[in-house]
Structure 1
Amino acid sequence: MLKTVTKTLAAGVAVTALLAGAASAQTTLRIQTHQGQSSSYGGAIQEFVDAVNLMSGGDLQIEMFYSSSVVPSAETFDAAVNSILDCDMTNGSYQAGKNKAFQFVSDTMGGYDSPLQYQAWVEMGGGREAVNELYADYNMTFVGAHVGGQESLTSTRPLAGVADLENWKFRAPPGMASDIFASLGAKPIVMDFSEVITALESGIIDGADASTLGNNLRIGTYDIGKHTNFPGFHSMAADHLACRTDVWDGLSERHRKIIEVAYQNVGMDLILQTLVDNGEALAKLPSMDVTTYNWSAEDRATFRAAAQKQWDVYGGETEEGKAMVASHVSFMKRIGLIQE
């Protein structure tokens, strides 16, 4: 009897030790984002980190590096490819120098009217599959994307529609955005984001392509430029979560699902937060003597048509770019944004 009890106790101890060992086995993913931890994006990302830890019972940890603290933002993708990091949570367009197709992972420029439409392309319109065909050549897996919402322009002169773009000098990012606006008569001036306020104050530019309505208010562009558009239509840059494929495939199915579910919450949180931020900003603008313009369906269609021509130019340089543009256009036709 004593021997039986002893064996039973020993077996119990062994099982307890085995379970304890399993519980203590921990997987840690090193991820970098270019977003600051104190920003609305950073707050949503921190909630993602906490949710992964909670849902995994602590056996899956995220070591998040904010504000590109390991490598410069544009080098994050390569840092993941080369095992310095495990995953990249920056922006696909940083890799457009490798292949212009990467531009269309992040922002079609003039394509979607809302972040939900873009997310629908990713989740239900073949977007995830299209992106992963591109990323597979780099041993990277596209997990998903997050985006707050459409950006609004700031201007020191009226900006009621396409006609007002003629000779409109504005701060623009390099690349496709500048070319689209230039084709409609604007005069884009490429400059760093940090130079926007000074350039507006000095009159070097008439306006700026900076950020969302809420962020524009926060950084002070409406203290100078008293004209803006809302809702936005021209740009909606989405960040991504992409992990090195061998790392992603090496995770258990349970861990992959935890990451996917927690990350989907990041996208929804940012859509909701941006909606609130923009709504609060919109309520404040009249007291600041800022005029808001809601562009007509005709003007939006004119801008989208100009954008489509540049999609073909940029996307047409590579087979991957053509495939990415075709995926977007097919989905936009499906949901009625582009007429057959």
Structure 2
Amino acid sequence: MKTLTIAAIAAASTALCSVAALADGHATTTLRIQTHYAPETTSGKLLSELFDNIELMSNGEIQIEAFYSSSVVKSVETFDAAATGILDCDATGGGYQTGKNPAFQFVGDIMGGYETPAQQLSWLYYGGGREAAQELYNTYGMELIGWIVYGQESFASTRPIAGIEDLKDWKFRSPPGMETKIFEKLGASPIVMDFTEIFTALETGIIDGADASGLANNVGLGLYDIAKFANFPGFHSMPSDHLACNKAVWDAMPEHHKAIMLTAVSDTALKSALIFEKENAEAKAMLEEQGVTISAWSEEDLAEFRAAAQATWPEFATTPEAEALVASHVAYLTQLGIVKPE
């Protein structure tokens, strides 16, 4: 007889609470979902629209209670909170879970790899990525529902950030994981901190800059009220935000509820890529009018960054799961012509 862990008991209890039935026999699903995004940001608005669409398409059979700006637990704790039943779903990203297994880096943000959201989503849905990622998520009691990729991120900085030379001794907020290794190689001083702490850290001078999000999201966070330097187009990071749910909750959901969730996330992924093309361009024009200096890195500096990033992939792939994901990415990137065969 197997001994149930507290987490397993909590997950099973959550599944019973989250899936019920109306008097007429129709199943109902109630989901508590946390995101690190503020509701004012572009990504926060897209998630709000996603949740509304799920409720509408299900004719109210799926009800969502959304928590923004990591208001229940810290961003990095969202995944565990969903896995143990404090929440039902996590709308942050796999990159926050690299402390569990470095394989999460390669479903969260490979860095220095894909150039567009379409390429990255193509690996997930048609390059074998979803199957490999799902196995990883299931190991930790979670189900990957889908990705939302908004495109390349831009820095916010209180000092010039126009190329590799400007990275020397540049203290910046970094998410956990491989990014710290890459930027240390390039002379920067990454400081890992929660997404919700960025504004105050910039305001008080604890950091010189931040890797937070795309240009439009950074505007929504108010970062350029303090930081008067940015780079665009972005190049260093194209994270995959995810929607991942407690596996017991997911398994208990009716098949048509699952189909609605899967379809709605795919729709939001496309909308996100398209909207950010427009809103990042608008943000760039607005910021330049406000006196923010925006720099485009040279091809030489971009090549140096990509070389440093790709050299770090195998260094960070220290588990069988991570090694398998890196091999999958490299094979697909080679097929796309982004990585040159050796």
TM-score strictly above 0.5: yes
Map of 1:22 onto structure 2: 25
Q: Give the whole-Å Cα distance in 2 for the aligned partners of 1:334 and 1:166.
A: 35
Shift of 1:58: 2.2
Q: Give the whole-Å Cα distance in 2 for the aligned partners of 1:38 and 1:285.
A: 18
Map of 2:331 onto structure 1: 330
Q: Does 1:197 align with 2:202?
A: yes
Q: Does 1:37 align with 2:39?
A: yes
1:42-89: per-residue Cα shift (whole Å, max 9, x none)? 222222222222222222323333333443332222222223333222
Map of 1:248 onto structure 2: 250
Q: Does 1:64 align with 2:86?
A: no
Contact 1:90-1:239 within 8 A present in 2 as well? yes
1:150 to 141, 149, 152: 152
Q: Give the whole-Å Cα distance in 1 for the aligned partners of 2:217 and 2:264.
A: 25
1:182 to 1:64, Cα distance in 2 relative to 1, 3 A: same
Q: Give the whole-Å Cα distance in 1 for the aligned partners of 2:169 and 2:333.
A: 30
Q: Does 1:113 align with 2:118?
A: no
Q: Give the whole-Å Cα distance in 2 for the aligned partners of 1:156 and 1:73.
A: 25
Map of 1:100 onto structure 2: 102
Q: Give the whole-Å Cα distance in 1 for the aligned partners of 2:297 and 2:186.
A: 15
1:3-49: per-residue Cα shift (whole Å, max 9, x none)? xxxxxxxxxxxxxxxx97134x4232332223233432222222222
User: Tell me, what secondary structure is at the counterpart of 2:218?
Assistant: helix
Q: Which moved more, 1:160-169 or 1:320-329?
A: 160-169
Contact 2:91-2:242 within 8 A present in 1 as well? yes
Q: Give the whole-Å Cα distance in 2 for the aligned partners of 1:121 and 1:28.
A: 31
**Identity score, percent:** 53
Please, which runs of 5 or more residues in structure 2 have no aligned partner?
A: 1-21
Map of 1:209 onto structure 2: 211
Map of 1:4 onto structure 2: none
How much is the aligned-residue C-alpha RMSD, in angstroms?
Answer: 2.7
Q: Give the whole-Å Cα distance in 2 for the aligned partners of 1:257 and 1:62.
A: 16
Q: Give the whole-Å Cα distance in 2 for the aligned partners of 1:198 and 1:185.
A: 23
Contact 2:173-2:211 within 8 A present in 1 as well? yes
| Structure showing greater Rg | 1
**Count of paired positions:** 317
Q: Give the whole-Å Cα distance in 2 for the aligned partners of 1:57 and 1:225.
A: 44
TM-score computed with the length of structure 1 as normaliser:
0.82
Q: Give the whole-Å Cα distance in 2 for the aligned partners of 1:95 and 1:311.
A: 16
TM-score computed with the length of structure 2 as normaliser:
0.82
Q: Give the whole-Å Cα distance in 2 for the aligned partners of 1:264 and 1:59.
A: 20
Shift of 1:253: 2.4
1:295 to 294, 297, 303: 297
Structure 1 or 2: larger helix share?
1
Q: Give the whole-Å Cα distance in 1 for the aligned partners of 2:159 and 2:72.
A: 41
1:242 to 1:187, Cα distance in 2 relative to 1, 3 A: closer
Q: Give the whole-Å Cα distance in 1 for the aligned partners of 2:81 and 2:160.
A: 44
Q: Does 1:229 align with 2:270?
A: no
**Residue type of the alignment partner of 2:55:** N
1:313 to 307, 315, 324: 315
User: Tell me, what secondary structure is at the counterpart of 2:111?
Assistant: coil
Q: Give the whole-Å Cα distance in 2 for the aligned partners of 1:289 and 1:205.
A: 21
Q: Give the whole-Å Cα distance in 2 for the aligned partners of 1:152 and 1:300.
A: 13
**Residue type of the alignment partner of 2:329:** H
Shift of 1:94: 2.2
Map of 1:5 onto structure 2: none
1:252 to 1:196, Cα distance in 2 relative to 1, 3 A: same
1:136-147 correspondence runs (5 A): 136-147=138-149
Q: Give the whole-Å Cα distance in 2 for the aligned partners of 1:76 and 1:222.
A: 27
Q: Give the whole-Å Cα distance in 1 for the aligned partners of 2:208 and 2:228.
A: 11
1:53 to 20, 41, 55: 55
Q: Give the whole-Å Cα distance in 2 for the aligned partners of 1:279 and 1:216.
A: 13
Q: Give the whole-Å Cα distance in 2 for the aligned partners of 1:218 and 1:21.
A: 44
